Amino acid sequence: MTYCVALKLNAGLVFASDSRTNAGVDQIACFKKMRSFVNADDRVIVILSSGNLSITQNAINLLEQHGRHAERRNIWNAETMFDVAQLLGESLREVRKHDSVFLAQSNVDSGANFIVGGQIKGEDMRLFMVYAEGNFIEAGEETPFFQIGETKYGKPIIDRVITPETPLSDAVKCVLVSFDSTMRSNLSVGLPIDLACYTASSLQLGFQQHITQDDPYFSQISRRWSDGLKGVFASLPNPEWLTDIDINSDSSE
Amino acid sequence: MTYCVALKLNAGLVFASDSRTNAGVDQIACFKKMRSFVNADDRVIVILSSGNLSITQNAINLLEQHGRHAERRNIWNAETMFDVAQLLGESLREVRKHDSVFLAQSNVDSGANFIVGGQIKGEDMRLFMVYAEGNFIEAGEETPFFQIGETKYGKPIIDRVITPETPLSDAVKCVLVSFDSTMRSNLSVGLPIDLACYTASSLQLGFQQHITQDDPYFSQISRRWSDGLKGVFASLPNPEWLTDIDINSDSSE
């Protein structure tokens, strides 16, 4: 399983992915389910992927390979992030057309999803989600984030905290809490977490962090969040419609 | 959509169901996705249902109808909760055998799930989950709860709080917080919530509560939980690997 999330805030973009399955190593960036295409001062593009690993890898590799041919529209000369999302969707369609019949013969699902976001000089930051069919949608003011993979356990905290005004530091914390909730409820999502942050209009990829089991900050967040939740929970009042008898029966246990 | 949860604690059982879809009114109890069969001092049985409404209603109605024939094994003379779970599974299979072919012709899913728990004189409280195929599993020490329907958004708080030792009052609060998280993230789960509580060995159904939009306690829990979470979140430290520049860029937004 996979969990990936990306936020589009006024302050910038935050991307995070788990890495419990092996997605192999690529030559452009050091992330497993996260791949970045950076040409500083011109464009920063980050892609998160979930689904069939051969499909997602091949689609991104194809996208990268097409990028070596300057005569065609590619990820390095696309004028907008809209074009980049379209190129990614086309690569995905090409790979699925090539492989899905064979996968289907072994009942293997060739489904795959991407989140792709970033900024190209001349336009604002943008964030897209590409569906398995290659079509895609863009994040707006009302929905400033996308999730793919095992999305539900980690959604409530994002729903509560994230607005376009959220600062990057809070957004990073929120994403880590979201991963913590997901990993507690679904063992197939696990550390390390790959995290990348992009500050609006910088046209540079900001910090990247590979958060492993030993990361003291993540351990601290995880422990303090858990203790804090328990504290808030303990402070909630008892329902008045729980009679004295009910409550007494509790405390005698 | 539906969300139902039931907890099996040392102190007793807690059952809760939402009621956004209309499950009709029955003649035994006043709950929509919750139906109780009570013969005080002999047995208390509560059933929660999710899935195709005609299937779940018919299965429970069949179970109830079979209960009028004392010559056969039925819900009123079953000696154990294991037998009750089996009777419910058999009713479900009977209804699906009767209807599912016709539903399939219109591409309607005849899937349905139940949680059934309670106590019959002579044995301890027990809690079961009945799958769409009519087979079932029992809750144990390690998994003291079952959820059906839209289960994921509300699972993290249960994972964090509930152990067999949790008192009933805390369990009720936890269930309400779990519903609050679910309703925030999935609009198809909604108030009112039906809640029922059973104190171990009482052989009486304890309090039952129908929590509507106007319920002041639920509003209070919802608001205080939300505020509390935000408070805990705000108290989490910033990651040290967020450089000064990153943080400054935040605060300038």
Measured between beta carbons, which residues in chain A are less than 8 angstroms from residue B221? Answer: 236-237
pLDDT of residue B65: 95
Interface of A with B in 134-153 (CB under 8 A): 152-153
Residue of A nearest to B251 (CA): A167
Backbone angles phi, psi at A85, to 5 degrees: -60, -40
Question: Do the Cβ atoms of B169 and A238 come within 8 Å?
Answer: yes
| Mean pLDDT over each residue of chain B, to the nearest integer | 88
Query: Rounded to 10 degrees, what is the CA torsion of A47, A50, A55, A60?
Result: 10
Instruction: Determine which of B178, B199, B242 to mutate to test the interface with A (most A C-beta atoms within 10 Å).
Output: B242
DSSP characters over chain B: --EEEEEE-SSEEEEEE--SS-----SS-S-SSEEEEEETTTEEEEEEEEE-HHHHHHHHHHHHHHTT-TTS--TTT-SSHHHHHHHHHHHHHHHHHHHHHHHHHTT----EEEEEEEEETTS--EEEEE-TTS-EEE--SS--EEEEES-STTHHHHHHH--TT--HHHHHHHHHHHHHHHHHH-TTS-SPEEEEEEETT--S---EEEE-TT-HHHHHHHHHHHHHHHHHHHHSPPPTTS-HHHHHHHHT-
**What is the average pLDDT across B55-63?**
94
pLDDT of residue B243: 60
Backbone angles phi, psi at A195, to 5 degrees: -130, 135
Question: Do the Cβ atoms of B177 and A236 come within 8 Å?
Answer: yes
Residue of B nearest to A240 (CA): B217
Residue of B nearest to A170 (CA): B238
Is A14 near chain B, with CB under 8 Å? no
Q: What is the ipTM of this complex?
A: 0.81
Is the model's pLDDT at B33 over the cut of 70? yes
Reported confidence tier of residue B252, pLDDT bands at 50, 70, 90: very low
Question: Do the Cβ atoms of B229 and A172 come within 8 Å?
Answer: no
Reported confidence tier of residue B20, pLDDT bands at 50, 70, 90: confident
Reported confidence tier of residue B21, pLDDT bands at 50, 70, 90: low
pLDDT of residue A252: 38
**What is the average pLDDT across B48-67?**
93
Residue B200: closest CA among B144, B135, B142: B144
d(CA A91, CA A51): 15
Is the model's pLDDT at B240 over the cut of 90? no
**What is the average pLDDT across B139-157?**
90
Is B236 near chain A, with CB under 8 Å? yes
Question: Do the Cβ atoms of A161 and B233 come within 8 Å?
Answer: yes
- Domains of chain A, each with CATH number or no CATH: 3-215 (3.60.20.10)
pLDDT of residue A243: 60
Convert B150-187 into a string of H (helix), E (strand) and C (coil).
CCCCCHHHHHHHCCCCCCHHHHHHHHHHHHHHHHHHCC
pLDDT of residue A193: 92
Residue of A nearest to B174 (CA): A233
Mean pLDDT for back-to-back runs of 10 residues, chain A (253 residues): 93 92 44 88 96 91 95 96 97 95 89 97 97 95 91 90 92 94 82 93 91 90 92 89 52 38
Q: Could you tell me how many helices (H) and strands (E) chain A has, helices first?
A: 6, 10
Least confident window among B97-101, B107-111, B178-182: B107-111
pLDDT of residue B28: 42
Reported confidence tier of residue B213, pLDDT bands at 50, 70, 90: confident
Is the model's pLDDT at B193 over the cut of 50? yes
Is the model's pLDDT at B128 over the cut of 90? yes
Instruction: Determine which of A186, A236, A243, A245 to mutate to test the interface with B (most B C-beta atoms within 10 Å).
Output: A236
Question: Do the Cβ atoms of A232 and B236 come within 8 Å?
Answer: no
d(CA A152, CA A175): 13
